[in-house]
Amino acid sequence: MPRYKLVDRSPRFLPVVLAEQIQPGTFEFALDHLVDHELDLSALDAKFSNDEVGASAYDPRVMLKIVLLAYSRGLVSSRSIEHACLHHVQFIAISGDSQPSYTHIAKFVRELKEQIQPLFTQVLLTCDRMGLIGRQMFAIDGVKLPSNASKERSGTHEELKHRARRLDKAADKILELHQAQDAGGDSAQALDAKRQARVDELRREAQATRDFVARNEPRRNDKGQELKSNVTDPDSAKMATGKGVMQGYAAQAAVDSQNQIIVAAEVTGSGSEQHMLLPMIEATAAVRAPDTLITADAGYHSNDNVQALREAAIPALVADNAMRQRDERFAEQAKHKAKGEVLADKRARGESPNPKVKGFFGTSDFVFHGDNTCTCPAGCTLRSSGALYKVGQYLRQDFKASASDCTGCAQRAQCIRKPDAARRTVALHTRMPDDPQDPLHRMRQAIDSPRGRRLYSQRIATVEPVFANLRHNKRLSRFTLRGKDKVGTQWRLFCLVHNIEKIANRGQRS
């Protein structure tokens, strides 16, 4: 029988030089050097007043290193970070074996909101000093992430009041059922404690919902319409994604095209991102040059944004919703699209993704002649007075059929949806001619030009890998904190990790 070396896993004392665990060229080395020698953390020191009395505190530099190293490893919860500080040699080395508890770690992250933006700016200036920011193009985009909030506890104030009443009714039903069982002689003593706990839980949730409605004013958009509020995290919002509706935040980032450095970061509790374009551009002022090109997708396009960019003389390419329809390269894009995900696509098998109203004639079934007349599928003539009505960027012209033609028409059931309607009316929408000086027209011309298409095509390759790194490599699948300020702090910490990785990679190449 062959003999092998003994495998011995019994306890033993091994000499470990903690300083040698932080090797040059690694993320840990760049983080350690940056925090100790590059960043000004006097604002964090000012939070302590235990020079002469009071217990000693954990060094905020050590806490910052621990949190950023943990986020780079995909560790987000404070308990998992505490475990790493006890058992992971690199955490032990970078913290000097400080061993902070999870409560200290959570408190440090929670109270970092006043200092996180100055820290982000300092790291950004370090990147600039190392030549990592090219300033040729900044790509702005957002990623929607779930928040630490329940989607079921979201609604308008009236919907929340209705939910509170339903919770009370559910609690009353449990009590009625229990009383009915007792009256019938069916002993259910073993279930009393469990039922009582459930009743108390329903009562508490109903009362918390009513207190929230009484304490908070309804949220409204620019048009005065009420938005849905969330009881657990009022700053978050319901957002539509490719996999359904979620309760969360839209994390924003402006990324430099040269080395994919994040030059600005913010979060918003709204599914619409139009209002974030100008603030994100303003946040890049410290590193943006006058000729830096700003690119953004159609989610940021609006008349006000395009007008403001022109007035500020900021070069930008902001796509509109019809950009791909004008691009001949996307003429046959439908056949290249992947099939929908099984869990996300809720349509029945064989159902069209954009079904028309079944059995009814649409505008495309009518033939327009250009002389204020058109012909319906049955061959009858519809006439227009020639009046044009402005609807957004389009001119609408109404055509009406004769009541006598529609009354006895054999195809009436396929043409007129309302049985009591006397005749068919159809509207033709024609796009208004563009004003050459109109900012929207100039933006469309710029983005449709060969140079504009070439520059805009760099946007995806600039910003999407950054989101992939944070979501996949750093495991940022959701925000664990509540409130816009705390969520913004967590998002900027992850963006700091991304930028420090770029610094570490540049140092390794050097």
Q: What is the CATH number of the domain that holds 445?
A: 3.30.420.10
Torsion of CA 350, 356, 358, 362, to 10 degrees: -150
Read off the pLDDT of each residue in 361-383 and give the average, rounded to a whole number. 90
Whether residue 313 sits in one domain with residue 192: no
Residue carrying the six token digits 């007349």:
373
Strand ranges in 260-315 using DSSP code E only, listed in sequence order? 262-268, 293-296
Share the mean pLDDT of the chain. 88
Whether residue 459 sits in one domain with residue 311: yes
Can you give the residue range of the structural domain that contains 297?
Answer: 137-147+233-330+437-509
Can you give the pTM of this predicted structure? 0.80
Could you write out the DSSP letters of every residue in 221-258?
-TTSPEEPEESS-TT-EEEEETTEEEEEEEEEEEEETT
- Other beta carbons within 10 angstroms of residue 353's beta carbon come to 9
Whether residue 405 sits in one domain with residue 301: no
322 or 344, greater pLDDT? 322
pLDDT band at 227 (very low <50, low <70, confident <90, very high): confident
Read off the pLDDT of each residue in 392-400 and give the average, rounded to a whole number. 88
Whether residue 283 sits in one domain with residue 141: yes
Domain assignment present for 487: yes
CA terminus-to-terminus distance, the chain: 53
pLDDT at 259: 95
**Lowest mean pLDDT across 45-59, 98-112, 203-217:** 45-59
pLDDT over 60 at 352, yes or no: no
pLDDT at 59: 92
List, in sequence order, every residue forming a beta bridge with 76; answer none if it has no partner: none
pLDDT at 330: 75
- Other beta carbons within 10 angstroms of residue 136's beta carbon come to 14
pLDDT band at 509 (very low <50, low <70, confident <90, very high): low
Read off the pLDDT of each residue in 299-323 and give the average, rounded to a whole number. 92
pLDDT at 353: 45
Which token pair is 396? 């609408």
pLDDT over 90 at 322, yes or no: no
Whether residue 442 sits in one domain with residue 321: yes
Domain assignment present for 352: no
CB contact set of 492 (below 8 Å; sequence gap of 6+): 116, 117, 119, 120, 265
Which token pair is 291? 């000729």
pLDDT at 357: 47
pLDDT over 70 at 184, yes or no: no
pLDDT band at 175 (very low <50, low <70, confident <90, very high): confident
**Lowest mean pLDDT across 66-70, 160-164, 325-329:** 325-329
| Distance from C-alpha of 109 to C-alpha of 119, rounded to nearest angstrom | 13
Whether residue 494 sits in one domain with residue 442: yes
Domain assignment present for 314: yes
CA-to-CA separations, 8 to 2, 5, 13, in angstroms, rounded: 18, 9, 13
**3-class secondary structure per residue, 318-360:** ECCCCHHHHCHHHCCHHHHCCCCCCCCCCCCCCCCCCCCCCCC
